[in-house]
Chain A
Amino acid sequence: MLGALVALLYPIPFERSGQIYYETVGFLVLLNAMLGIGWNIIGGWAGQFDFGPSIFFAIGAYTAALLTINLGWNAWLALLGAMVVSAAICAAVTYPVTKLRGHYFAIATVAMWMIAQPIGATWPLINGSQGLFIPVATGGGFVHGVLTMEFPGRGKGLGFYYLSLALFTITLLAARAIERSKWGFYFRAVRDDQDGAEAIGIDSRLYKVIARCLMAVVFAAGGTLYGFWALAVFPDQVLEVNWNILPMMAAVVGGLGRLWGPVLGAVVLIPISQLMATTLGTGPLAGRGIDLIIYGAIIMVIAGWRPNGLLSLPWSEWAARLRGHASASGKA
């Protein structure tokens, strides 16, 4: 409950001081946490390596953009459209490759990403590498902003923060429901012992597809959100390698397969990289990539120190000790 309160109130002090940037950092954390939760479904629960989830991010962004620009659809309808299209394409392309296992499957996902790149850059329907621009919605207050997913003027930071919070919460609740459902059980069965699962009648190929397409839906939603945030969809931006690895890293850092893992991962990784970028990447050291060197070093340290993710730290022990201290000092 406390967490929810913090999340809801987080942007308020920044609105007052006008430092909207921090709201956008919050937005990025929530977006990547959401994507991480989506990735966790295929990567953490079903145990399949998917290194090319950005294709669904791109499909989502482009579908939403096309629906909005060419057909004048409302932003939320476009979001739904993006999710449906993404799931459909995912099912079609994933089923054949579920024949592959382990690392071979992983490379197949990379292959799909590599195939998507020249399509994105040259396909006239999406204007190729010259990108699609979502028209700036004019006027209107906050409600209008929510309806069009475009917030006028300085409301951008606040608006997108709460929008992403909403989508993130929906994703989290949905993921929790799935984790406890039959599907969740089947996913984990496939991950832990695929042959064994098949022996008791679980169709591993079907469930791999389902897991991946659930991820595809989440990524499509993320892509749509990104499209309206950036107001421009370029192929090299939506298919960029960071959309592949950041959600995955968030999930791994936090703790693979744990529901809150990606959230913790995103909360740790993104502020660190932003802090590095704004303090070390500037001034006389600018252009030397010092911030990224430190970022890389931090990642390596975390990986080496806690290879099972930060959630594996003995939080409950520490909390108990804190409580123990408090009650001890209270008694004294």
Chain B
Amino acid sequence: MTLFLQAVADGLQMGLLYALVAVGLAIIWGLMEMINFAHGEFMMLGMFGAWGLSAWLGWDPLITMVPLAVVMYGAGVLVYRVLMQKVQRGEMFTQIFATVGLFFFIQNGVVALFTSDYRFINASLLTRLSGANLTVGGVRIGVPLLVGGLIALALFLILYLLIDRTDFGLALQATAEDRDAAMLVGIRPQRMYAVAWGLGTALVAIAGVILANFFSVYPQAGLSFTVLAYAIVALGGFGSILGTLMAALLVGVVQSVTAAYLPPAFKDAFVFASYILIGLFRPQGLFGRF
């Protein structure tokens, strides 16, 4: 029984980290329906940023999180204005094509600058706390992961309030649902998309900064999280920020529990099988609006 409870607890903790990675995508893709193949690469840039500032200036990632988020916000807006805005004129599929190019460009740009060596952050608050545990009822909860998870929750709350409770959020939703109608009521769609890209990129970069405390930093690091992020946004349902969070927790738990009892090589496969299964009963995801 403890094995099971521990697996659930581990799954919830990882789920919060996955939620952190997925939240940026939930805005760009879940809300604004723009496909971004390079999502994981922005996360990786966040990781490198955190590592670089930690290694050369000794600044803690929890602090550098803020300036890096601002810089990456700008990067997201830039990518939209220079590339995606033009691509929007064409087929939906061209977005994939364009962001595949972006993927190659960013990943190999980092390889060129930093090579493919594995790098680690050694001197941050969270890494110094590594190994510290809280034990609740026989179940172990790692402190650093808990901190990461709390930051994820906080970001989700802010984002939920932003999207669902503010005029700005409503404007974003309106643009996503019907661009022409939104223009009629005075919303400028280009600006909405640019902001969405900026926000989404900033959020996933923050995810990278946090994750850099726990995982090795290397150019190919984005891949394993990205595929899960896509599944999570779709599972949660398009247009629902809360849905993404719930889906992330579910994914984390399914992954963790199946790895504890079934062949571990299949743990991601079970996650995706659950997606299909749930999709058969709820074709718009858990909380999807469209």
B90-A110 in contact (CB<8A): no
| Complex CA–CA separation, A290 to B100 (angstroms) | 16
Given A303-B97, A307-B89, A288–B276 Cβ distance below 8 Å? no
A5-13, A19-27, A93-101, A213-221: which lies at the interface:
A93-101
The CA of A303 and the CA of B109, in the complex, are separated in Å by: 19
Please, how many angstroms separate the alpha-carbon atoms of A248 and B106 in the complex? 21
Q: How far is the CA of A304 from the CA of B231 in the complex (A)?
A: 27
Shortest distance between the CB of B96 and any CB in chain A (Å): 7
Interface string of A286-303 (1 = CB under 8 A from B): 011110110111111011
Contact between B231 and A110 (Cβ–Cβ < 8 Å)?
Answer: yes
User: What per-residue 1/0 map shows which CB atoms of B255-286 lie under 8 Å from chain A?
Assistant: 00000000101101101110110011001110
Instruction: With both chains docked as a complex, state the minimum distance between the C-beta of B282 and any C-beta of chain A, in angstroms.
Output: 10
Q: In residues 59-97 of chain B, which contact A (Cβ within 8 Å)?
A: 82-83, 86-94, 96-97
Complex contact B108–A292 (CB within 8 A):
yes
Which residues on the B side are within 8 Å of A308 (C-beta)?
89-91, 94
B91, B273, B285: the one within 8 Å of A111 (CB): B273
Tell me if B111 and A289 are in contact (CB < 8 A). yes
Q: How far is the CA of A8 from the CA of B221 in the complex (A)?
A: 44
Q: Of residues 98 to 117 in B, which have CB atoms within 8 Å of A's CB atoms?
A: 98, 100-109, 111-112, 115
Q: Are A296 and B263 in touch, CB under 8 angstroms? A: no
By a CB distance below 8 angstroms, the chain B residues around A101 are 283
Interface residue stretch chosen among A56-64, A115-123, A146-154, A193-201: A115-123
The interface residues of chain A lying within 8 Å CB-to-CB of B86 are: 303-305, 307
For residue B263, which residues in chain A have a CB less than 8 angstroms away from its CB? 118, 122
Q: Which chain A residues border B106 with CB–CB below 8 Å?
A: 296
Whether, in the assembled complex, A14 has its beta carbon less than 8 Å from a beta carbon of chain B, the answer is no
CB distance from B36 to the nearest CB of A (A): 12
**Residue from the set A101, A103, A245, A288 with the largest chain B CB neighbour count within 10 Å:** A103
With A97-B280, A111-B273 as known contacts, state yes or no: A300 contacts B102, CB within 8 Å: yes
B284: shortest Cβ distance to chain A, in Å? Answer: 7
Q: With an 8 A cutoff between CB atoms, is B230 at the interface?
A: yes
| Count of A-B residue pairs with CB < 8 Å | 160
Measured CA separation A165–B31 after assembly (Å): 44
Contact A300 B101 (CB under 8 A): yes
Q: B101 to A307, Cβ gap below 8 A?
A: no
> A103 with B273: in contact, given A288-B111, A296-B108, A308-B91 (CB under 8 Å)?
no
How many B residues touch A, CB cutoff 8 Å? 51
The listed residue (A117, A287, A292, A303) touching B87 by CB distance below 8 A is: A303
Q: In the bound complex, do residue B279 and residue A103 qualify as a contact, i.e. CB atoms below 8 Å apart?
A: no
Chain A nearest CB from B54 CB (Å) reads: 24
Interface pair B91/A296, CB less than 8 Å apart:
no
Closest to B268 in A: A114
Contact residues in A for B266 (Cβ distance below 8 Å): 118, 122
Residues on the B chain within 8 Å of A299, using CB: 97-98, 100-101, 104
Interface status of A108 (Cβ within 8 A of chain B): yes
Is A249 in contact with chain B by the CB < 8 A criterion? yes
Q: Does A43 contact B (CB under 8 A)?
A: yes
Docked-complex contact B33 and A103, CB < 8 angstroms: yes
Query: A111–B108 contact, CB under 8 A?
Result: no
Residue of A nearest to B106 (CB): A296
Q: Is the CB of B108 within 8 A of A108?
A: no
* Chain A CB within 8 A of B238 CB: yes
Q: Verify A117–B101 contact, CB threshold 8 A.
A: no
A80 vs chain B, min Cβ distance (A)? 30
Chain B residue at minimum C-beta to C-beta distance from A249 = B97
Task: Say if the beta carbon of A252 comes within 8 Å of chain B.
Answer: yes
Q: Does A126 contact B (CB under 8 A)?
A: no
Alpha-carbon distance A298/B283, docked complex (angstroms) = 37
Partner of B91, one of A99, A103, A108, A252: A252
Q: Which residues of A contact B (CB under 8 A)?
A: 43, 49, 96-97, 99-101, 103-104, 106-108, 110-112, 114-115, 117-119, 121-122, 245, 248-249, 251-253, 256, 287-290, 292-293, 295-300, 302-309
10 smallest beta-carbon distances between A and B, as pairs: A307-B90, A299-B101, A289-B108, A296-B104, A296-B105, A303-B98, A111-B272, A107-B234, A300-B101, A288-B112
Residues in chain B within 8 A of chain A (CB atoms):
29, 33, 82-83, 86-94, 96-98, 100-109, 111-112, 115, 227, 230-231, 234-235, 238, 263, 265-266, 268-269, 271-273, 275-276, 279-280, 283-285, 288
Listed A/B pairs (18) with beta-carbon separation below 8 Å: A103-B33, A103-B238, A107-B231, A107-B275, A110-B230, A110-B231, A114-B231, A117-B269, A248-B96, A252-B96, A289-B108, A289-B111, A292-B108, A298-B101, A300-B102, A304-B98, A307-B90, A307-B98
**6 extra interface residue pairs, beta carbon distance < 8 Å, beyond A107-B230, A118-B263, A248-B93:** A248-B97, A249-B97, A252-B93, A293-B105, A296-B108, A302-B97
